[in-house]
Structure 1
Amino acid sequence: MSRWKHPDPMSMLAEANKNTAMETLGIEITCIDEDGLWGEMPVDNRHRQPAGLLHGGVTCVLAETLGSYGSWLLVDSERYQVVGQQISCNHLRPVREGRVKAFARTVHVGRRSHLWDISVYNGTEKLVATSRLTVAVVDRR
């Protein structure tokens, strides 16, 4: 039995991306398995800061997207919604162009909060950033 609460998570998340920051930035969920979620994003003018490097805040958007989507897939979305509560990100090496990919895995899945570790890699599989995200699970009102 899958840990994910939704029967077709890839389609659900592709639909959820429409008309959002994720669509604008080109963030795509590429794989969902029992270990976690993989996602990718290009690095182009939409993603760079003035020095020509991938903006750290955009890296955080990628990380928070994966962790938040993962939490959404772990809960009964009729009863609960998930919201990012805290994120930290360590930037380890610059990226100027190409694509980055990220993997999100759970550290803790509780009734009211989830903790995620997200690793971001460049096109040569080198680690460029690590992030930790806390997601709150709240009752739908």
Structure 2
Amino acid sequence: MSDNFTPHPLSDELLAAGIPAEHHGLLGPHGVGALVAKMGIVFTHMSVDSMVATMPVEGNTQVTGLLHGGAHVVLAETLGSFAAAFHAGLDSRVVGIEINATHHRGISAGLVTGTATPIHLGRTLATHQVVMTDSAGRALSTCRITNMILSR
């Protein structure tokens, strides 16, 4: 590490969310956001072609004990937005403009894995499909998110 290296002001938060130090600059001054930390989302793979993160069921359930449908959508929007930011690069920012979800099966315990893959990576729009699965690889939900890419 050189003497000129200045760590990201939210390095501890970013590292706790599984984001390698080489990607901290891409996230600007905002880190991962309070909701990502509160829901226990941790990134396990980050690239333009695939963005993967996990989220615990515990603490993110609805009254019946199943993972809340909104929690699926939070995980999907997080993955889709981060993936769009990777595509857009440092000179841009992204904002979500559309998301939808289809829930296939419930889950009441364990860890959910979300995987975002690009459907369209353009100059002004990026669309991703995000599939949430259980530990056995069964699909829990499928979301599609579109982000608008804005110049800084």
TM interval, short-chain normalised:
0.7 to 0.9
Partner of 1:16: 31
Cα distance per residue 1:46-69 (max 9 Å; x no partner) = 211111110011100000000100
SS at match of 1:67: helix
Query: Runs of 4 or more off by more than 6 Å in structure 1?
Result: none
**Total equivalences in the alignment:** 130
* 1:74 CA drift (Å): 1.3
Q: Distance in 2 between matches of 1:33 and 1:82?
A: 16
SS at match of 1:8: helix
Q: What code does the residue aligned with 1:99 have?
A: L
* 1:108 CA drift (Å): 0.4
Partner of 1:30: 44
SS at match of 1:30: strand
* 1:33 CA drift (Å): 4.0
Partner of 2:6: none
Partner of 2:119: 107
SS at match of 1:60: helix
> 1:47-66 maps to which residues of 2 (within 5 A)?
47-66=60-79
Equivalent residue in structure 2 for 1:72, among 80, 85, 90: 85
Cα distance per residue 1:102-134 (max 9 Å; x no partner) = 110101011111010011001111010000000
Q: Distance in 2 between matches of 1:109 and 1:54?
A: 30
Partner of 2:129: 117
Partner of 1:83: 95
Verify the 8 A CA contact 1:9 1:73 in the aligned structure 2: no
Q: Distance in 2 between matches of 1:29 and 1:100?
A: 12
Q: Distance in 1 between matches of 2:64 and 2:22?
A: 40
* 1:8 CA drift (Å): 2.1
Q: Distance in 1 between matches of 2:24 and 2:111?
A: 20
Verify the 8 A CA contact 1:10 1:32 in the aligned structure 2: no
* 1:16 CA drift (Å): 2.0
Larger Rg: 2
List alignment gaps of at least 5 residues for structure 1.
1-6
Identical-residue share of aligned pairs (%) = 30
List alignment gaps of at least 5 residues for structure 2.
1-20
TM normalised by structure 2 equals 0.79
TM normalised by structure 1 equals 0.84
Partner of 2:106: 94
Q: What code does the residue aligned with 2:75 have?
A: L
Relative contact order: is structure 1 or structure 2 higher (C-alpha 8 Å, sep ≥ 6)?
1
Q: Distance in 2 between matches of 1:71 and 1:34?
A: 8
**In the superposition, relative to structure 1, how do residues 134 and 62 fare at CA in structure 2: closer, same or farther (>3 Å)?**
same
- Going by fraction, where is helix more abundant, 1 or 2? 2
